[in-house]
Structure formats: structure tokens, C-alpha cells
Amino acid sequence: MADVSVRFAMTNDSEVVLNLSLPQALRLMEAIARKVGETLAERSTQGVGGVGGVPTPAPSNGMPSLGPYTPS
């Protein structure tokens, strides 16, 4: 039996549900956090010079845009 259910909304009418044990859920969260950190680091270096010296605009909250989320 799963300890944690993780839901990812894919579109307005579909989602992916992962039923994970607690250690698996923790590894998933660590992997997501690591990827977010890498993405933010890439954006911060691009924001300094950007492509061709043009700064890259960043979202107002500093987080990468993953698109809209609509809970079901």
C-alpha cells in the first residue's frame, strides 16, 4: 500500500497519479528540487548576459514558469 499519492495535472481533463512509498516520495521531491535549482541557476546566469547580451526576462516571483495549474 502506498504512503503518499502524488498528482500531476497534465491537462484540464487528465492527470498522472503516483502512489509511492515515503522513501520514494522523498527521492522524487529531492529530484524535483535539484532540477528546479539547476533551472534557476541557468536562468540567473542567462539573466546577466542573456543570449547575445540581451537579458532574459524572469517571472516576477523568481520561479520558473511551469504553466497554469488547475486542480480537479
Of 57, 64, 62, which Cα lies nearest the Cα of 32?
64
To which residue does cell 488547475 refer?
A: 70
| pLDDT bucket at 10, cuts 50 / 70 / 90 | confident
Task: Give residue-wise pLDDT tens across range 14-66.
Answer: 999 999 999 999 999 999 999 999 998 888 877 655 455 555 555 555 555 55
Task: Give residue-wise pLDDT tens across range 25-35.
Answer: 999 999 999 99
| Three cell numbers written together for 11 | 491537462
pTM of the full predicted structure?
0.53
| pLDDT bucket at 1, cuts 50 / 70 / 90 | low
